[in-house]
Structure 1
Amino acid sequence: MFPLLLLLVPAAHAIVQLPYKPALTQSPRLEGATTASTFVLDQPRCVFDNYSNTDIWLVVALDEAAFNNTSAPGTNETSFQHFPDPVRAYMTLNATLANYPCPKPLRDITVLRVGSETSCVGDNARPTCNGPLPGPGPYRVKFLALQGSKPVAETDWSAPITLRTAKPASSISTTDSRHSAGMIAITTILSILFAILLAGLVAMLVFWRRAKGSITFTPQPGHSALTGCPCAAGEGC
């Protein structure tokens, strides 16, 4: 009987593996699921329903083997400020079941942006900072439920998540099959010449209108001021 109890004790403290795999959001209303320093996940709605008295954490790691479930959040072993070297995984975005209601309410925000905080990047008092990710990765994430400091349930690891990288200016081609560099230069020159021609035409029209308005007719003696014709003898002009 005693050996049987010894076998049951580890099983009672085993972490429950939940059939959920975190993934980048596919919401059509949200653009930029990945940036150079952030990525957006769907919230784990209806995943931790049986763990109402736990804290739910997001684990961000460089690979699956980088995280040890015995590590507690907020310690040097899981500090964002020391990621990715020497810390290879950290815990962030602490939440409870109330933050992930099931079913999800309409018009509710149901995503998490990882890497969105900048104010706590260098603050060692905030080891669970959700700070910008330091490189393109790839990263893997999972959700972990802790009861006190003891892990009780966790999801699967996500697929590798790679962030966007900026292209160097030297790699951007100035030519392609539709717009060569020469065509762009010719188009620019023609646009400038057209602008100069248009400005000259407008200036000429303004000068002509002013010149026309300043011309007045001064009648000569013996001419009508109205018609400009000589007056007939005996007629009043």
Structure 2
Amino acid sequence: MASGGLVVLLSLFPLPPPSPERIGYVPQLSSATLAGRLTQSTLTLEQPRGQFSHLNISDFDAIWLVVAHSKASQNFTAPQRVEDTPVPASFSQRGYYLTLMANRALYPGDRPGKQLRVLRVGNDTRCSPRTRGCNHPLPGPGPYRMKFLVMSDRGPVAETEWSSETRLQQAEALQAVPGPQSAGTVVIIAILSVLLAVLLTALLTLLIYTCYDTCGSTPISGPGEPVCVRRYDTHHVCSPPAAGGS
């Protein structure tokens, strides 16, 4: 009878799901020497290599990257089902979403050697932000905080610590030149305009004078004056025009 009552109580007041195991790893930005480490819509993280070798994590469990606004990270609730995974399109409402799904086989503990091992967050401009796992460009400058979440078919299994706050680069707006410099710029532009007008006037005057001088001093052959005609003979000769002509 007592066991039956316990079953009834559990059905009326179900126990909350167990909390995921905490992994003492803090996601880190990639090396400062890496080009494109931070842009206006992307950031680059180091891969969490060798951080998911716990016994309760299997090779089939999904490892998600949680991207959250710094303020919303305190209210983050891990989804209990894969179907409830928040997508980038819900970021404006929830303040977080899951992306870059992987498994621990992609994050082995061996050293990568010379091969670069990073995660470029927000690097996919082709996927729809309503698609689960889409690595859509980050929607604003932030600040953002990230952590890794391991999920199985039964729900959350383990999670890392939150990263520190990260702000993206921002485009610098062109600022107007202060008053005194602006007035000086106007004066310089006015002087250059006057000099340009004077130069154009001088060039036009020189062109007119040259044309007039050339046309006024060049003789124009009349009907009775000798004309130099080129013949296609063995020699070029100048012959006077025919006197009567027929």
Shorter chain as denominator, the TM-score bin is 0.5 to 0.7
Which of 114, 134, 144 lines up with 1:129 in the alignment? Answer: 134
Q: State the AA in 2 paired with 1:28.
A: T
Give the Cα–Cα distance (whole angstroms) in 2 for the partners of residues 27 and 84 of structure 1.
Answer: 30
Q: What TM-score do you get using the length of structure 2 for normalisation? A: 0.59
Q: Which residue of 1 aligns with 2:189?
A: 188
Length-normalised TM-score, structure 1 = 0.61
Residues 82 and 31 (structure 1), Cα distance of their counterparts in 2 relative to 1, 3 Å cut: closer
The alpha-carbon deviation at position 33 of structure 1 amounts to 0.9
Change in 2 beyond 3 A, CA 1:198/1:104? farther
Same amino acid, percent of matched pairs: 23
On the 8 A contact 1:139/1:160 being kept in 2, the answer is yes
Residue in 2 that maps onto 1:231? none
Report deviation, 1:119: 4.7
Q: CA deviation at 1:209?
A: 4.7
Whether the aligned pair in 2 keeps the contact of 1:104 and 1:110 (CA below 8 Å) is: no
Is 2:99 the counterpart of 1:92? yes
1:40 counterpart residue number: 43
Work out whether residues 118 and 132 of structure 1, in 8 Å CA contact, stay in contact via their aligned partners in 2. no
Aligned partners of 1:52 and 1:195: how far apart in 2? 78
Match of 1:15 among 14, 21, 38: 21
CA contact (8 A) 1:142 1:154 kept: yes
**Pair 180,103 (structure 1): closer, same or farther in 2 beyond 3 Å:** same
Structure 2 unaligned segments of length 5 or more: list them.
1-17, 221-246
Larger Rg: 2
2:62 to 49, 55, 63: 55
Gaps of 5+ in 1: 1-11, 219-237
The number of residues matched between the two structures is 195
Deviation by residue 1:82-114 (Cα, 9 ceiling, x = unmatched): 2231x2321112134465565336464734133
Q: Which amino acid aligns with 2:144?
A: Y
> Partner residue of 1:138?
143
Aligned to 1:233: none
Question: Partner residue of 1:68?
Answer: 77
Does the 8 A contact of 2:141 with 2:168 survive in 1? yes
SS in 1 for 2:120: strand
Q: Deviations over 1:3-30 (max 9, x none)?
A: xxxxxxxxx99524143x2234444342
Q: C-alpha offsets along residues 53-83 of structure 1, whole Å, 9 cap, x if unaligned?
A: 24321101233332223444452x6233222
- C-alpha distance in structure 1 between counterparts of 2:197 and 2:219, whole Å: 36
Partners of 1:45 and 1:103 within 8 A in 2? no
